[in-house]
């Protein structure tokens, strides 16, 4: 008889595990080797990182479940306070013993937890290594400062056979507290390759169709989506959404399972459309399905971002325009725009160097309330009494998140605001009241030092134009998994200048 795959664990169990966790064999073996036999002490803390949907939690959880090892799974996002975390750990290790015996105090600290753990541990000593799995461990950093270091050397503190496994999408370097701590073992889960994705996705075949058909479907799907999305979960979702459409010709009898080309021609445009709509959640999945079933007569579904129109009261519109002007024009140019006899701005060094770069690239700047009102009164075409409702409108614009208050809420004296809307938006608003907002923006003014200016602008906008030309593409690149960026996609798109403006700049 050959040597066991991993001592301490039954071979068939391990085989089953390997069967269940495709494409993660190496990681599995490393983990099993690290864990050693159930009774042996394991390394105190293990840190596992990898992108979204690379199977971190799934591997760990299946492993511990299948091998029937004592473990506690805690998602840190759920733990709004440390108390919940402690309680979940204690509950899953000691069960009823915990609740009957003395509970944690109201605001438990780490030492309370350790004290209680040790008490319970005396009653129920560990026969096998206990595992604590902390999912989304990056959130531990925001909790008490001693929590993360404490958990890293928990084995030492409670003097029990316990191992903490941290799961995160962020590398360990970003965790390391500056006071120093116990270094955990690092384990990386790499992204799935295309072939691996294909292998995994092809496993869940539709019961009504042959596995080969499904596999070819997955092949087509990956062909379209792989460049954009490597998130397994998302891909599975998309596969499920679009499969009925793929099977449509088969059901109507137009094609057979062998006619790969025909099937491909049928599904390909559909998938492309899905990439632009349902993948970005412009269209919700249910709407997508409804649209598919009611093919033909249904008009084009409008995406979420197309609902950008906002109705505002008349003066609110002008207030918003004034806020936009105040945010994007340097304060010194106000004379130029809002005084009758302003004269020409002649000096080339009128503005400081940093003001020469386009303000639209730098983002909105804060402005005080006085300036907003001054611009408002010169912009609005009729005489407006400074009534309470004008001020009320400013605060309601802040609640609507069209303006944002920069200064602290308590500062009643001279509050400062920023304008939080895009150029597109403000132009649409300005059009409804017949106000030419672009003519009042310093960035779009042809300045006397035209040549230097133009050159400078070309430099600053060139990369942007590049992005613009591949706007949709870049959209997806932002969304794609290679960047685990937290910023929402539309926000990314908002940095891009609208095409028509950039054309104007090129002239």
Beta-bridge mates of residue 131: 71, 163
Q: Rounded to the nearest 10 degrees, how much is the dihedral formed by the CA atoms of 325, 326, 330, 331?
A: 130
SS3 343: coil
According to CB under 8 A, which one of 263, 489, 501, 505 is a site residue for another protein?
489
Instruction: Give whichever of 50 and 184 is closer to another protein, judged by the CB atom.
Output: 50
Cβ–Cβ under 8 Å, residues 163 and 71: no
Beta-bridge mates of residue 71: 131
Residue 216 in tokens:
């070819």
Instruction: Give whichever of 128 and 404 is closer to another protein, judged by the CB atom.
Output: 404
| Residue 307 C-beta: closest distance to another protein, Å | 4
Phi, psi of 406 (to 5 degrees): -90, -45
CA-angle at 85, arms to 79 and 90, nearest 5°: 155
Rounded Cα distance between 48 and 342, Å, is: 64
**Does 315 help bind another protein (rule: CB under 8 A)?**
yes
According to CB under 8 A, which one of 23, 69, 84, 181 is a site residue for another protein?
84
**Does 284 help bind another protein (rule: CB under 8 A)?**
yes
Rounded Cα distance between 208 and 210, Å, is: 7
Handedness of CA 143, 147, 149, 151 (dihedral sign): negative
| Residue 417 C-beta: closest distance to another protein, Å | 15
According to CB under 8 A, which one of 100, 179, 349, 399 is a site residue for another protein?
399
**Does 387 help bind another protein (rule: CB under 8 A)?**
yes
Per CB under 8 A, the segment of 152-160, 185-193, 201-209, 462-470 that binds another protein is 201-209
Alpha-carbon separation of residue 166 from 201, 233, 373 (angstroms): 27, 21, 53
Per CB under 8 A, the segment of 30-38, 253-261, 339-347, 486-494 that binds another protein is 486-494
Residue 384 in tokens:
């407006």
Rounded Cα distance between 453 and 181, Å, is: 53
**Does 334 help bind another protein (rule: CB under 8 A)?**
no
Instruction: Give whichever of 8 and 83 is closer to another protein, judged by the CB atom.
Output: 83
Per CB under 8 A, the segment of 24-32, 113-121, 276-284, 429-437 that binds another protein is 276-284
Phi, psi of 143 (to 5 degrees): -85, -160
**Does 143 help bind another protein (rule: CB under 8 A)?**
no
Phi, psi of 497 (to 5 degrees): -75, 145
Residue 356 in tokens:
């020469």
Per CB under 8 A, the segment of 192-200, 347-355, 434-442, 485-493 that binds another protein is 485-493
DSSP state of 3: P
**Does 243 help bind another protein (rule: CB under 8 A)?**
yes
**Does 236 help bind another protein (rule: CB under 8 A)?**
yes
Count of residues engaged in binding another protein, rule: CB under 8 A:
66
Residues in the chain: 507
| Residue 56 C-beta: closest distance to another protein, Å | 15
Instruction: Give whichever of 153 and 237 is closer to another protein, judged by the CB atom.
Output: 237
Cα 34 from chain centroid (whole Å):
33
What character string, x for contact with another protein (CB under 8 A) and - otherwise, covers 94-123?
Answer: ---------xxxxx----------------
Give residues in contact with another protein (CB under 8 A): 52, 75, 77-78, 80-81, 83-84, 87-88, 103-107, 204, 206-207, 233-234, 236-237, 239-241, 243-244, 280-281, 284-287, 304-305, 307-316, 385-390, 392-393, 396, 399-402, 479, 486-491, 494
């Amino acid at each position: 008889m050959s040597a066991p795959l991993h001592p301490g664990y039954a071979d068939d169990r391990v085989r089953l595990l390997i069967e269940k966790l495709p494409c993660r064999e190496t990681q599995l073996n490393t983990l099993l080797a690290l864990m050693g036999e159930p009774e042996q002490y394991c390394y105190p803390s293990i840190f596992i990182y990898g992108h979204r949907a690379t199977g971190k939690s799934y591997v760990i959880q299946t492993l511990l479940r299948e091998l029937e090892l004592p473990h506690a799974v805690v998602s840190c996002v759920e733990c709004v306070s440390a108390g919940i975390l402690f309680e979940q750990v204690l509950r899953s290790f000691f069960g009823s013993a915990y609740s009957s015996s003395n509970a944690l105090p109201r605001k438990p600290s780490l030492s309370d937890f350790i004290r209680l753990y040790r008490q319970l541990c005396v009653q129920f000593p560990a026969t096998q290594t206990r595992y604590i799995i902390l999912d989304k461990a990056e959130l531990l950093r925001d909790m008490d400062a001693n929590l993360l270091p404490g958990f890293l050397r928990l084995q030492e503190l409670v003097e029990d056979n316990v191992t903490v496994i941290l799961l995160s999408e962020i590398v360990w370097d970003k965790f390391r507290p500056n006071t120093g701590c116990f270094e955990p073992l690092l384990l990386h889960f790499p992204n799935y390759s295309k072939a691996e994705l294909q292998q995994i996705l092809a496993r869940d075949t539709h019961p009504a169709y042959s596995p080969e058909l499904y596999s070819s479907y997955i092949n087509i799907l990956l062909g379209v989506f792989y460049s954009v999305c490597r998130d397994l979960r998302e891909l599975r979702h998309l596969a499920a959404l679009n499969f009925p459409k793929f099977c449509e010709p088969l059901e109507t009898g137009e094609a057979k399972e062998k006619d790969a080309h025909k099937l491909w021609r049928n599904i390909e445009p559909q998938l492309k459309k899905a990439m632009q709509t349902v993948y970005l959640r412009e269209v919700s999945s249910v709407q997508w399905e409804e649209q598919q079933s009611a093919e033909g007569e249904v008009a084009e579904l409008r995406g979420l971002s197309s609902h950008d129109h906002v109705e505002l009261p008349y003066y609110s519109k002008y207030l918003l325009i004034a806020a936009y002007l105040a945010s994007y024009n340097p304060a010194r140019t106000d004379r130029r725009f809002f005084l009758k006899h302003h004269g020409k701005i002649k000096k080339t060094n009128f503005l400081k160097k940093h003001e020469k770069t386009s303000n639209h690239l730098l983002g909105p700047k804060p402005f005080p309330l006085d300036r907003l009102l001054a611009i408002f009164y010169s912009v609005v075409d009729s005489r407006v009494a400074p009534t309470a409702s004008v001020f009320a409108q400013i605060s309601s614009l802040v609640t609507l998140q069209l303006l944002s208050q920069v200064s602290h809420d308590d500062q009643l004296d001279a509050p400062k605001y920023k304008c939080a809307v895009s150029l597109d938006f403000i132009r649409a608003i300005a059009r409804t009241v017949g106000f030419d907002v672009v003519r009042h923006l310093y960035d779009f003014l042809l300045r006397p030092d035209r040549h230097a200016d133009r050159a400078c602008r070309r430099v600053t906008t060139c990369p942007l134009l590049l992005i613009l030309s591949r706007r949709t593409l870049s959209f997806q690149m932002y969304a794609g998994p290679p960047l685990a960026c937290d910023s929402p996609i539309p926000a990314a798109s908002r940095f891009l200048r609208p095409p028509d403006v950039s054309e104007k700049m090129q002239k």
